[in-house]
């Protein structure tokens, strides 16, 4: 390799790298760091007049309307707290449909009538902001002449400080809506779905004798997988820069086949990075807990302790930002794409969820008494029915260009949405299915209210890691979401579809009680009906297997492999009805999302196609033809001195160059072709025509990478990127 090639420079830089970051001061224990940059409940209680604090609590805990005078008092206290900590600015933080985090910053600094500088931050500025909404995707919800969008304070998610060596900013989590009140973001429907779930869950709890149940919330713990590579390699890969994934790259001689990376010792530089990430997260009140190597070389995982869904969502976004930012300080790039390296394990974001409150505890926890168990089974059945009715929707919310490369790739759950219950719970539902058929208590039947469940281990040995949605003892783990994704979309779909099923269950039981049926019999009846109708989504076997694909098809479960197919389910009649009925998303809002996501898919693939073309033409073809020329002149030289040259390699290279050229021209033609006018047709074109054409280019190029002299190859290889850290 030439000493001046970007590859060689990258390797030199990696080998001579020393940590340039000052060591952290770990004399301060994590407990005293935790939430030190959060204007949290404890801080508010200490700083706000009692009636103000109580009014705010009522809003946070019970959604009471917030009085303007309360907002003014909170704003003043919040500003004082932030200014004491060096803040000069505040920012409304929101979560547009891009899946990223957006923020608009304003200085506290103002000028009064006499021209004197003042520090201002009113209740109004806290409650509402007005960023220019025209540059955020809205899927046709807003005409350009009415581009106004509003951010509104989310009282339930605490404000926090983001530090920078040059100053600090007070960040206020907000919703983002249009002038007409339509949701333009991911948080608004999440909050709405949370309320809907609460209402229906409490109806069910009342049936079980909890007369005034506390509000029920969804708890979410998201495990984040990510890759780290040295920044020098990253910058020498235009595909990673443009698309977040490699569009070229031959298989390395050694991959992950030795299973020697998973849970292995963490490299020093990575460990130093993890310590700092955790410090930063703790300051922000994010309970980072678990860290380890993942399956692929260069792949890692971080998981915080579960929190309320809305907070978990905000924290998840902050976590992704923090990972990226801190990686830079350690000379690395954090890659959150679902499949950055072909043939190497992809990255997911396992979303663990449960429902509960502090009085009744975790509603997905099996109880000790028959009564508690019946209640647990009802909540489990609600999840099963939700998947049975809305599996398509649940598939659609994990659909995006990156995740298409991961789902079904034999290391991630397939695109078929099913539920894993584990042997024991599966057995229980089987018995329920039989139980009501006869009045007898014969072998293999289970009577609600009489039998206690067999003790379900909270960490069952038969843990299934192939299922998209697995019951793991006291929660469900949704394993299909992609590593780069916001968890809001998945949780909106789960909350809403589970709420609908709880509504159904409560309505059925209420009617039976009114007709004089006892509670236990009514519960038995409903559970049995649910298993009969939706038992086809329960699958305990190996979801990665080919047999499952066949069996799923015979059970009528769809296998939606690509984003355009899967997204269609988002805007289906059943999804529209679900969201409109519970006021989570109007038909208009839902359709706008469908448009935005479909268009984003098209944009993503289009960028990848252009990047493929550019790299093939300006980096790979020149390298290959240079080598071809070298071989040709050697052959000519040999001939000139009377020797018969061996033309095997030259012929091989010439053929491959011809293939690459042909594939590149074919792709170029498609890229320059006018795209179909409609959103869906355009996405389908990208999926069915552009992606295969890119694959053809890649095949020819990867073949060349395996055969061209290494010193001429311009792109860092998989081996270099994954193993030199
Ligand atoms: P795994 O063995 O699946 O890799 P991890 O410890 O990495 O487990 O992550 C499990 C995640 O599930 C954590 O975020 C954890 O806080 C979360 N979790 C645990 N219990 C619950 C619960 N009852 N509800 C929601 N999430 C939970
Ligand atoms: Mg884990």
List pLDDT tens digits, range 28-52: 889 999 999 999 999 999 999 999 9
Q: Which helix (H) or strand (E) holds 38?
A: strand 38-39
Q: Is 362 in the pocket of ligand 1 (CB under 6 A)?
A: yes
Closest ligand to residue 476's CA: 1
- The CA dihedral of 523, 526, 532, 536, to the nearest 10 degrees, is -90
Element (H, E) at 503: helix 488-514
Is the shortest distance between the CB of 305 and ligand 1 below 6 Å? Answer: yes
Most confident of 163-167, 217-221, 363-367, 444-448: 217-221
> What's the length of the chain?
725
- Both structure tokens of 601: 């898919």
CA 477 to centroid of ligand 1, rounded, Å: 8
CB 272 within 8 A of CB 201: no
Answer yes or no: is the C-beta of 354 below 6 A from any ligand 1 atom: yes
Binned at pLDDT 50, 70 and 90, residue 453 comes out as: confident
For the record, the structure tokens of 46 come out as: 């200490």
Q: How far is residue 24's CA from residue 37's CA, in Å, rounded to a whole number?
A: 17
* Dist. CA 307 → ligand 1 center (Å): 10
Atom 4 of ligand 1, residue of closest alpha carbon: 223
Q: Which of 301, 313, 458, 475 to mutate to test the pocket of ligand 1 (most atoms within 8 A of CB)?
A: 475
Tokens representing residue 698 in the block: 């890649």
Give yes or no for residue 458 having a pLDDT over 60: no
Q: Is residue 471 part of a domain?
A: no
Reduced to 3 states (helix: H, G, I; strand: E, B; else coil), residue 580 is helix
In a domain, 141, yes or no: yes
Cα torsion 534, 478, 215, 585 to 10°: value is -80
Q: What is the pLDDT of residue 66?
A: 84
Residue 81 lies in a domain: yes
Q: Calculate the alpha carbon distances from 715 to 273, 284, 341, 614, 711 in Å.
A: 26, 38, 14, 13, 10
**Rg of the chain taking only CA atoms, in angstroms:** 28
Structural domain harbouring 154: 34-185
Average pLDDT over residues 466-490: 96
In a domain, 648, yes or no: yes
Q: Pick from 185, 204, 221: which residue ends a domain?
A: 185
> Relative to the CA of 221, which ligand 1 atom is closest?
14
Dihedral, CA of residue 683, residue 684, residue 690 and residue 693, to nearest 10: 160
Q: What residue has token string 């009925």?
A: 581
571, pLDDT greater than 70: yes
State the CATH number of the domain containing residue 162. 3.10.20.70
For the Cβ of 290 lying below 6 angstroms from any atom of ligand 1, the answer is yes
Q: Which of 135-139, 600-604, 681-685 has the lowest mean pLDDT?
A: 135-139
Flag whether 69 is in a domain. Answer: yes
pLDDT bracket for residue 73 (50, 70, 90): very high
Q: Which atom of ligand 1 is nearest to the CA of 306?
A: 16
Angle at alpha carbon of residue 23, lines to 18 and 27, rounded to 5°: 160
Query: Does the pLDDT at position 277 exceed 80?
Result: yes
Q: How many CA atoms lie within 13 A of 105 on its CB side?
A: 11
Looking at residue 427, what is its pLDDT?
85
Q: How many domains does the chain have?
A: 2
The CATH number linked to 631 is 1.20.120.1560
Would you place residue 456 in the very low, low, confident or very high pLDDT band (cuts 50, 70, 90)? low
Say which range, 98-112, 258-272, 345-359, has the weakest mean pLDDT: 258-272
Split at pLDDT 50, 70, 90, the class of 2 is low
Ligand 1 atom index nearest CA of 305: 16
Ligand positioned closest to the Cα atom of 487: 1
Element (H, E) at 362: strand 361-362
- Given 160, 185, 210, the domain boundary residue is 185
Ligand 1 pocket member 353 (CB < 6 A): yes
CA atoms of 656 and 695, how far apart (whole Å): 15
Strand, helix or coil at 415?
coil
| Euclidean distance between CA atoms 122 and 65, whole angstroms | 18
* Residue 645 predicted with pLDDT over 80: yes
Indicate the pLDDT class of residue 14, thresholds 50, 70 and 90.
confident
Q: Give 592's contacts (C-beta < 8 A, 6+ positions apart).
A: 138, 139, 140, 141, 182
The Cα diameter of the chain in Å comes to: 106
Q: Is 601 in the pocket of ligand 1 (CB under 6 A)?
A: no
Please indicate, yes or no, if residue 38 is contained in any of the structural domains. yes
Q: Is residue 311 part of a domain?
A: no
Atom of ligand 1 nearest to the CA of 362: 23
State the residue for tokens 């200014």.
83
Give yes or no for a contact between 283 and 245, defined as CB atoms under 8 angstroms apart. no
225 has pLDDT over 80: yes
Mean pLDDT value across residues 374-387: 97
Ligand 1 atom having least distance to the Cα of 352: 26
298 or 437, which is more confident?
A: 298
Residue 306 C-alpha to ligand 1 middle, in angstroms? 7
Question: Where a domain ends, among 185, 211, 244?
Answer: 185
Counting ligands in written order, the one closest to the CA of 458 is 1
pTM, to two decimals: 0.95
Rounded to whole angstroms, the Cα distance separating 725 from 711 reads 21
Distance of CA 283 from the midpoint of ligand 2 (Å): 23
Whole-number Å distance, alpha carbon 634 to ligand 1 midpoint, is: 62
Average pLDDT, the chain: 92
Tell me the pLDDT tens digit for each residue of 417-440: 999 998 888 888 888 887 654 443
> CB of 475 closer than 6 A to ligand 1?
yes
Specify the pLDDT at position 288: 96
d(CA 173, CA 178): 17
Closest CA to 56 of 43, 46, 41: 41
Residue 646 lies in a domain: yes
C-beta 219 within 6 A of ligand 1: yes
Q: Is 474 in the pocket of ligand 1 (CB under 6 A)?
A: yes
**Taking Cα atoms as reference points, which of 659, 697, 623, 720 lies closest to residue 237?**
720
Distance 545 CA to ligand 1 centre (A): 26
Share of the chain above pLDDT 90, in %: 78
Q: What is the mean pLDDT of residues 466-495?
A: 96
Residue 573 predicted with pLDDT over 70: yes
């Amino acid at each position: 390799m030439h000493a001046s090639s970007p590859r060689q420079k990258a390797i030199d830089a990696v080998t001579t790298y020393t940590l340039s970051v000052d060591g952290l001061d770990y004399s301060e224990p994590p407990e005293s760091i935790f939430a030190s940059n959060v204007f949290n409940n404890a801080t508010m209680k200490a700083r706000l007049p009692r009636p103000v604090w109580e009014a705010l609590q009522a809003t946070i805990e019970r959604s009471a309307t917030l009085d303007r005078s309360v907002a003014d008092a909170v704003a003043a206290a919040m500003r004082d707290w932030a200014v004491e900590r060096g803040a000069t600015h505040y920012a409304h933080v929101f979560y547009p449909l891009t899946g990223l985090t957006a923020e608009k910053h304003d200085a506290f600094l103002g000028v009064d009538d006499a021209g004197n500088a003042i520090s201002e931050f009113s209740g109004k500025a806290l409650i509402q902001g007005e960023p220019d909404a025209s540059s955020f995707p809205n899927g046709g919800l807003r005409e350009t002449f009415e581009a106004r969008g509003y951010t509104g304070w989310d009282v339930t998610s605490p404000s926090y400080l983001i530090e920078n060596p040059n100053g600090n900013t007070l960040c206020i989590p907000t919703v983002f809506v249009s002038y007409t009140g339509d949701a333009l973001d991911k948080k608004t429907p999440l909050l709405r779905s949370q309320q809907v779930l609460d209402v229906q869950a409490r109806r069910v709890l009342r049936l079980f004798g909890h007369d005034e149940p506390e509000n029920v919330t969804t708890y979410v713990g998201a495990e984040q997988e990510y890759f780290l590579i040295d920044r020098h390699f990253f910058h020498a890969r235009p595909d990673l820069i443009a698309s977040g994934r490699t569009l070229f790259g031959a298989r390395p001689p050694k991959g992950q086949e030795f299973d020697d990376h998973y849970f292995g010792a963490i490299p020093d530089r990575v460990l130093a990075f993890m310590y700092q990430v955790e410090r930063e997260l703790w300051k922000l009140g994010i309970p980072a807990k678990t860290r380890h190597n993942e399956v692929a070389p260069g792949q890692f995982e971080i998981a915080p302790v579960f929190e309320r869904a809305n907070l978990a969502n905000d924290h998840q976004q902050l976590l992704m930002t923090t990972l990226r930012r801190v990686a830079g300080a350690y000379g690395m790039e954090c890659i959150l794409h679902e499949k950055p390296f072909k043939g190497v394990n992809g990255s997911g974001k396992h979303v663990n969820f449960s429902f509960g409150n502090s009085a009744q505890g975790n509603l997905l926890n099996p109880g000790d008494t028959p009564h508690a168990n019946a209640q647990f089974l009802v909540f489990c059945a609600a999840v099963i029915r939700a998947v049975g009715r809305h599996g398509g929707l649940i598939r659609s919310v994990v659909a995006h260009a990156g995740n298409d490369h991961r789902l079904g790739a034999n290391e991630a759950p397939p695109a078929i949405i099913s539920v894993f219950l584990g042997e024991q719970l599966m057995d229980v539902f089987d018995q329920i299915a039989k139980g009501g058929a006869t009045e007898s208590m014969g072998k293999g039947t289970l009577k609600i209210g009489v039998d206690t469940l067999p003790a379900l281990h909270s960490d069952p040995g038969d843990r299934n890691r192939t299922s998209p949605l697995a019951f793991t003892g006291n929660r469900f783990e949704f394993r299909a979401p992609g590593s780069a994704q916001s968890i809001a979309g998945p949780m909106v779909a789960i909350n809403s579809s589970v709420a609908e099923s709880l509504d159904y269950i409560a309505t059925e039981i209420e009617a039976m009680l009114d007709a004089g049926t006892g509670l236990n019999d009514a519960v038995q009846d409903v559970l049995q009906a649910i298993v009969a109708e939706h038992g086809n989504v329960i699958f305990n076997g190996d979801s990665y297997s080919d047999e499952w694909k066949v069996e799923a098809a015979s059970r009528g479960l769809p296998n939606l492999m690509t984003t355009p197919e899967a997204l269609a389910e988002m805007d289906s009649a059943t999804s529209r009805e679900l969201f409109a009925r519970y006021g989570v998303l109007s038909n208009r809002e839902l359709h706008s999302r469908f448009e935005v996501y479909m268009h984003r898919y098209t944009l993503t693939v289009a960028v990848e196609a252009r990047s493929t073309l550019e790299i093939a033409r300006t980096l790979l073809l020149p390298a290959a033809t240079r080598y071809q020329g070298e071989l040709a002149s050697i052959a000519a030289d040999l001939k000139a001195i009377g020797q018969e040259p061996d033309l095997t390699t030259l012929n091989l290279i010439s053929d491959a160059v011809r293939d690459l050229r042909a594939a590149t021209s074919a792709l170029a033609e498609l890229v320059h072709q006018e795209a179909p006018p409609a959103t869906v047709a355009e996405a389908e074109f990208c999926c069915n025509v552009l992606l295969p054409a890119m694959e053809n280019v890649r095949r020819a190029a990867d073949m060349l990478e395996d055969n061209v002299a290494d010193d001429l190859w311009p792109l860092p290889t998989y081996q270099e990127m994954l193993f030199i850290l």
